[in-house]
Amino acid sequence: MLLKGRKILVGISGGIAAYKVYDLVRTLVKEGASVRTVLTPSALDFVSPLVLATLTGSKPFYRWDEESPLAHVELAKWADAFLVAPATVNTISKLALGLADNPLTAAWSAFAGPKLVAPAANTVMLQNPAVRNHLETLRRWGVEVIPPDRGLLACGDEGEGKLADVDLIRDHLVRALSPKPLKGKKVLVTLGATREYLDPVRFISNGSSGKMGLALAKAVFYLGGEPLVVAADAKVSVPERFLVRRVETAGEMLEACLELFDGVDAVLMNAAVSDYRFSKRFDKKLKKSQKRLTVELEPTPDVLAELGKRKKRQKLVGFAVESENLEENALKKLKKKNLDAIVVNPVSVMGSDRYEGTIIFADGRKKELKAPSKEEAAYEIVSTLLGS
C-alpha cells in the first residue's frame, strides 16, 4: 500500500467524467490515503458533496463562507499532492493562466507540492491549439499530465478524451509522491513464462503469472525511470505504455533482450524462461495414433548468461525460484552468469500476491524481503538495487 498515510487533495471540475471520482476516491482511501476534495461550482452538477463527505470522511470545499474564508490555503498546506480529475478544458486553461476565481483554482495557486491533472474532454477540444499550449505550459511547470484514454466519449464521438483509468491515475499519484533516483534511466524488465512448442497447439511452460515482473516495471516507473517490458505469456495485463515486445519462446526472449540491451541502464530478468525445448518441433498437430510418444529435449538459450557476457555499464539482476538450498543455488547462478545481484524466492511465491525472498549481492551481502504485496516488494527491490 504505497499511498498509506499520504494526504491527497482531489480537485473536481464540472465534466461528465466526474462520476468516476467516486471510484477514484474509494481506491485511494482503501490504500490508506487521507483524501479531501475541492470542487468548482459547476462540478456540483455532476457529484454530490454528501457522497464525497461520506467516502472521504471530510467535508468537501466548494464555496467560501464565514466558517472557511481561508479553506483554500489550509487545504494547500495540508496536502502532500494535488490531483485535478477530471480536468476540463475550462479548468486546464485557468490553471495555465494562473487564474484563481473559484475554490479549486484558488487552492491550486496556494499549493506548492506535486501537482497532477487528468484531462477529460471531447477530442477536438483537447486538440485545440490553445488547450494543447495550456497543457504544455503545465508540463513545463512540472505538473504531471495524465494522458486520457481513447474510446467512446459522452458526446458519441470515438477518440482520445476519456478520463484515464482509475488504476492509471493512482499509479501516477504514487510516482508523483516517490523519489526519482531513476530519472533519465531506462530499465529492461522481462516477465511471464516462455513457451516451447512441440506442435502448433502443445507446449511446455511453467506457472509464472507475470505479477512480479509487472510490479517491478511499475516500481521503475514510480521511481522516475522508463521501463521497457519484454513480456512472455502472463496472467496480468501489461500496460501499453510499458510494453515494447511480446515473445513466446526463449529464443525470441533472447533476441528481444539483445536488441534492447545496449540502450538500457539496467536489466531486471524476472521472466520464467523454460530451461528446455523440444529437439524436434512438428509443423502439424500430432494425432493420438500411438500408445506412447517419446520426445527429446535440448537446452534453451540462456538469456541471462548471454547478457552477462555482454555486460558493460549495465546493472544486471537475475531472479530465481528454488525448492531447496535457495541461497546456495542462487549464489552459484549469480557467479556463473556475471550478475550484480540476484533475488531468490521459494516456489510458494509463484502466482501468490504475498512476497518473500532474499536479495544476494555480488559481494556476498544479503537482504531479506517480506511484504504483504508484490508491488511493495518490487518497490523495495528496485529502490535497493537501482536507486543508488
Catalytic residues: 155
Closest CA to 381 of 318, 288, 330: 318
CA distance 388 to 67: 48
How big, in percent rounded to 5, are the helix, strand and coil portions of the chain?
Answer: 35, 25, 40
Annotate 163-223 with DSSP letters as a single string.
Answer: PPPHHHHHHHHHHHTS--TTTT-EEEEEESB--EESSSS-EE-----SHHHHHHHHHHHHT
Closest CA to 57 of 30, 20, 84, 87: 30
CA distance 83 to 26: 15
Distances in Å between the alpha carbon of 372 and those of 7, 355, 357, 382?
Answer: 22, 6, 12, 17
Local structure of residue 324 (DSSP, 8 states): S
